[in-house]
Structure 1
């Protein structure tokens, strides 16, 4: 194995093309330098210099090795700065999961600013529901994730930052008789066919909606399940049923769909950023970034 010291000695001789001057530059005497270069040539199996009594020149092998040696030395000199940046969380990687609904809010702007402020962090995005994110956390394939849940129902064992809390509204076909109302009475909507997400992708929110129906003495009439909120809204446009969606989804305008609030108290959902308690510095840097932007 070639040591960095030996590479520095080779580069000095290659740049000076004089063993005496190279030895002075390296603050050493000439005989040990000559021996080090000879040993390097022996380990490589080829001469690096063409020597005569009057001159020293690089051989073909020496010319080929010089840029590589300089690059290796430059990388080695940069290692302390890289390590310090990684410790500060300004260099490294961040694997981030997110549910589709967070894209209707500030997430695109937050990510753009994060990439601008932390260009040395490799950011990998993965759209994934809560159940998928939990599996990826368990497999150490995810560092942080945005999830949707019922109020206060963040997964145990994680640190969390609440991003938003919003009432859910009803998405319904513009052909529905209820579509003409500015807001909807609870009894008028709870008896209608329902399009909803599967329980496993957001169990606390699914259970909160189920409890809301039962508080009014009814069971939901589920006619179709879909994972993505955009798909749910598209199914609503087809007249299959109505759907509960976070108020932020109203930014998704789909022909044939209107959004209406409920008269009185409606179910509430929260969006949170979650991460492991032993998270890497890059994760903590991202959390700080989101906190700062939320306050600005």
Structure 2
């Protein structure tokens, strides 16, 4: 039994006329009659009563019609779902990300979910080394990091870059100034992420470029935690510009006129990864926008 047999039978059952059914199916009547007989022979019972004046469904034919419609609808649904999966519009995506990329990644995810609302995305905040391990194990499809990865079988591409801004507690003398340079922060107490992170090393490098070594008062695991401590007057910091979207009470953001360096966000994934969902996500994310 083939799907065409079901489609032919449904058309005949709806028309109750072989000639009209043949016209709808864009075929001649004799082959249609032959296909229906083959279907009945395979089933072992008649689906239709026929004479020269009338075509009627048997009781078995009425039941078979309803089930045939369900079967065709299920096949059509399966084809539609498979097509969407092949286009990367259906499925799941597991993503690892470093905390400093939170606000640069959020717009990408938002745009992708608007485009592909049926995708299930799972996010895991992880250090870069843990993301690489998870990629090799296959427990995540994509990693989002702040440094280029040189590793066999791993693809590493810049997706976006963003500027840096200085943050101060409200009432801080620097918060009253509009134009700042890095050297203006020479005597401030810095709050940074823990040593060894790409973000920590980047801020240290910016200070060295400006001609001073920062006075590090505190080291904390996450930028959001740093911002909370800055808001309490415990120091200042430098954060990716995208964190201005985090409207922390007690925080003032100021641009640094002499800092031209940007902080890049990289997508990393296994070169042999075949996920259509991942391919679609990467394609939509590649706008290379500099975030202000």
TM range (shorter): 0.5 to 0.7
Equivalent-residue separation in structure 2 for 1:39 and 1:181 (angstroms): 87
Q: 2:40 aligns with which of 24, 37, 42?
A: 37
1:64-98 per-residue CA deviation (whole Å, 9 max, x = no partner) reads 3132133145347x56x955x766x4644462645
Residue 213 to residue 101, structure 1, CA distance change in 2 (3 Å): closer
- Under a length normalisation based on structure 1, what TM-score does the superposition of the two structures give? 0.66
Aligned to 1:62: 64
CA contact (8 A) 2:98 2:126 kept: yes
The count of residues paired between Structure 1 and Structure 2 equals 273
Aligned to 1:171: 167
Aligned to 2:73, the other structure's residue is in SS state helix
Deviates more, 1:17-26 or 1:203-212: 17-26
Structural RMSD (CA): 4.4
Aligned to 1:71, the other structure's residue is in SS state helix
The answer to whether residue 26 in structure 2 is matched with residue 11 in structure 1 is no
Q: 1:206 aligns with which of 189, 196, 200?
A: 200
Equivalent-residue separation in structure 1 for 2:29 and 2:234 (angstroms): 80
Equivalent-residue separation in structure 2 for 1:31 and 1:212 (angstroms): 82
CA contact (8 A) 2:192 2:219 kept: yes
Aligned to 2:184: 185
CA contact (8 A) 1:186 1:263 kept: no
Aligned to 2:271: 277
Q: 1:223 aligns with which of 218, 223, 231?
A: 218
Alignment of 1:36-185 (within 5 A): 36-40=39-43, 49=47, 51=49, 55-59=55-59, 61-75=63-77, 78=79, 83=83, 89=87, 91-93=89-91, 95=93, 97=95, 102=101, 104=103, 108=107, 111=109, 113-115=111-113, 118-119=115-116, 122=119, 124=121, 126=123, 128-131=125-128, 133-149=131-147, 153-154=148-149, 156=151, 157-166=154-163, 168-176=164-172, 179-180=175-176, 183=180, 185=184
CA contact (8 A) 1:12 1:25 kept: no
Q: What's the offset of the Cα at 1:33?
A: 3.3
- Under a length normalisation based on structure 2, what TM-score does the superposition of the two structures give? 0.66
The answer to whether residue 28 in structure 2 is matched with residue 28 in structure 1 is no
Q: What's the offset of the Cα at 1:154?
A: 4.1
Aligned to 2:31, the other structure's residue is in SS state coil
